[in-house]
Structure 1
Amino acid sequence: MRNWAILLMITLTILSCKSRKALNQNSSKNDSIQVENSGNKNDPKDAKNIQDRITFYEKILIHPKFDHVKINSKITASDLRVSPLDATIYIENDKKIWANISFLIIPAARAIITPEGIKAIDRYNKNYIDSDFDYLNNLLNVNFIDYKTLEKLLMGRTFLLISNSNSKIVKNSDGYQLSSITNQKIVTNDVIREYKVETQYTNDFNLTWIKLQDVKSDDAIEIVYENWETFPNEVKLPKNVKIIIKGSKSSQILLENTKFDFSRMETPYSVPANYKKIEIK
């Protein structure tokens, strides 16, 4: 499986950095966030202490429920020969993510992801994969991806562990800045890597920017969320997502002109008899 499927997997994960621990999808409401005074010389000049840290925590981690959402986007990527691609992504909350990618009107790739694992076909090369999440983590050199992480990344939700001991919040001219006081230690196969983490939220708590920088190398990942839209069911979603990968891997992926639909849709998936199962290394 070549560029089509690789793009599909990267699009669905929205990250490509080596990691294992220090990311937790099940932070408790009882956790707290340490708020630092703005006297630190690294803080924005107009930064000020946040008075209600519990409200901030609830706003960035607790979101209105949804049953299903259909996402239609145009995708461009720096390492693709042809673009833009048309992508349809359908999320059924906590159950499945279905995706279809095409170029012009030509079908290119399709995937269905559930809490049990990942299935995807590459129509161009007539290949397919059928794997658990370890397979995807190994493919993209990450170890923190599971089903719920994919949902959060696609929908612009906070996915980092937030704790009293390793984070600070300041108010600045753009909204709220959350950054790590101590480096996030992330373990892969007993190898520890440390990251500096920074995030930015708007005044109404929409995630606009997140960066993970490896403190011992040039490896970094940045994600920018823009043009947030609020729907009658109070669900908020970003229309534009930009992923920038730097360091030992270098790439840019842009999802834009996104349209959302909350109606239910069919999610067909089957592997033709003449397709070959492959391994990506």
Structure 2
Amino acid sequence: MKKWIPILLVFITVLSCKTRKPADQNTAQNDSITVQTSDSIQSETGKNISDRLSFYEHIYIHPKFESVKINSKITADNIKVSPLDATIYIETDKKIWSNISFLFYNAARAIITPEGIKAFDRYNKNYIDSDFEYLNNLLNINFIDYKTLEKILLGRTFLQVSDRNSSITKNADGYQLASIVNQKIITNEQVREYKVNMQYSNDYDLTLVKLQDVKSNDAIEIVYSDWVTFDDNIRMPQNVKIIIKGSKISQIVLENTKFGFTKMETPYSVPANYKKIEIK
């Protein structure tokens, strides 16, 4: 199963790592945040250089667009047949569609909406049709929903750290937003604690997200690089690297080679003879 689910390769292929809960489920729901405008950002020398409101506006508010088509190559440590060629189409707030191929063979297709995930595998002739709960359970997290996936693929800030429990510092490379106390989340009467570190360039492009479970060595890092600018100041990362650290280390890389902003058809139909896979 882990070898074929298209757009979720960035998560599904590393299920065995079992990362801890690294984020609040409410953090991925809103593009804005309330901050104390009188607080300033400290440079590494201790100098106040700007207020936090301006920083948060830059990292959470981005130019809008209706859709984007991304041609990508996907490589992963535990995928035998790689790189995989992927066409990823995102219609903002509505759907993520993907077609995966290998050596010109259309191997798999997926469509993800706020309601759930659908995908089929042409090689094994099977498919899935599920909500996001199974993915969160498998990864031992609770923040994955449609909007979070969309933001991760686009290099948008998908976490919101409490302003009173975080620090923002400025250095020559850009900005660093870090939790200064362990962040807690309660799910099913279980309390998890984690540390969050996010780094941004001087242009406020997200360059690194790190979520560290404070009670174990489990961590996840997402690295963004080679940002490019399009019309209306829309910026996209050409490279997305996801590193999962647990009982073993796994790495997945998306190399985005081409972007387009026109609408396209997103056909999805499971052949009648395919078998449904129940994910447990």
Question: Does TM, normalized by the shorter one, top 0.5?
Answer: yes
1:89 partner letter: I
* Contact 1:22/1:185 (8 A) holds in 2: no
**Helix, strand or coil at the partner of 2:170:** strand
Superposition TM-score, scaled by structure 2 size: 0.90
Deviating more after overlay: 77-86 vs 140-149: 140-149
**Which residue number in structure 1 is paired with residue 232 of structure 2?**
233
Determine which of 19, 26, 31 is the counterpart of 2:30. 26
1:76 partner letter: T
**Which residue number in structure 2 is paired with residue 115 of structure 1?**
114
* Contact 2:2/2:9 (8 A) holds in 1: no
Matched, 1:3 2:7: no
List alignment gaps of at least 5 residues for structure 1.
39-43
Deviation at 1:178, TM superposition (A): 0.5
Deviations 1:89-117 (A, max 9, x none): 10001111001111111112111011111
List alignment gaps of at least 5 residues for structure 2.
none
Runs of 4+ in structure 1 off by over 4 angstroms are 12-16, 33-38
**Which residue number in structure 1 is paired with residue 97 of structure 2?**
98
* Contact 1:109/1:120 (8 A) holds in 2: yes
In 2, Cα distance between the equivalents of 1:172 and 1:135?
40
Superposition TM-score, scaled by structure 1 size: 0.90
* Contact 1:32/1:163 (8 A) holds in 2: no
In 1, Cα distance between the equivalents of 2:46 and 2:173?
10
Aligned-residue Cα RMSD (Å) equals: 2.2
In 2, Cα distance between the equivalents of 1:72 and 1:93?
17
* Contact 2:154/2:237 (8 A) holds in 1: yes
* Contact 2:88/2:97 (8 A) holds in 1: yes
2:80 partner letter: R
**Which residue number in structure 2 is paired with residue 41 of structure 1?**
none
**Which residue number in structure 2 is paired with residue 81 of structure 1?**
80
In 2, Cα distance between the equivalents of 1:252 and 1:192?
28
* Contact 1:13/1:145 (8 A) holds in 2: no
Deviation at 1:166, TM superposition (A): 1.3
1:162 partner letter: V
1:105 partner letter: F
* Contact 2:109/2:120 (8 A) holds in 1: yes
1:208 partner letter: T
2:20 partner letter: K
In 2, Cα distance between the equivalents of 1:162 and 1:130?
32
1:18 partner letter: R
Deviations 1:196-234 (A, max 9, x none): 111110111000011111111110001100000110121
In 2, Cα distance between the equivalents of 1:60 and 1:256?
23
Deviations 1:28-87 (A, max 9, x none): 44334865645xxxxx5x564342211111000000000000011111100011111001
In 1, Cα distance between the equivalents of 2:14 and 2:189?
21
1:151 partner letter: E
In 2, Cα distance between the equivalents of 1:244 and 1:202?
20
* Contact 1:59/1:205 (8 A) holds in 2: yes
**Which residue number in structure 1 is paired with residue 273 of structure 2?**
274
**Helix, strand or coil at the partner of 1:94:** coil
Alpha-carbon spacing, 1:229–1:199, altered in 2? closer, same or farther (3 Å) = same
* Contact 1:86/1:101 (8 A) holds in 2: yes
Alpha-carbon spacing, 1:80–1:278, altered in 2? closer, same or farther (3 Å) = same
**Which residue number in structure 2 is paired with residue 211 of structure 1?**
210
Alpha-carbon spacing, 1:216–1:67, altered in 2? closer, same or farther (3 Å) = same
* Contact 2:2/2:13 (8 A) holds in 1: no
In 2, Cα distance between the equivalents of 1:79 and 1:47?
44
**How many residue pairs end up in the alignment?**
274
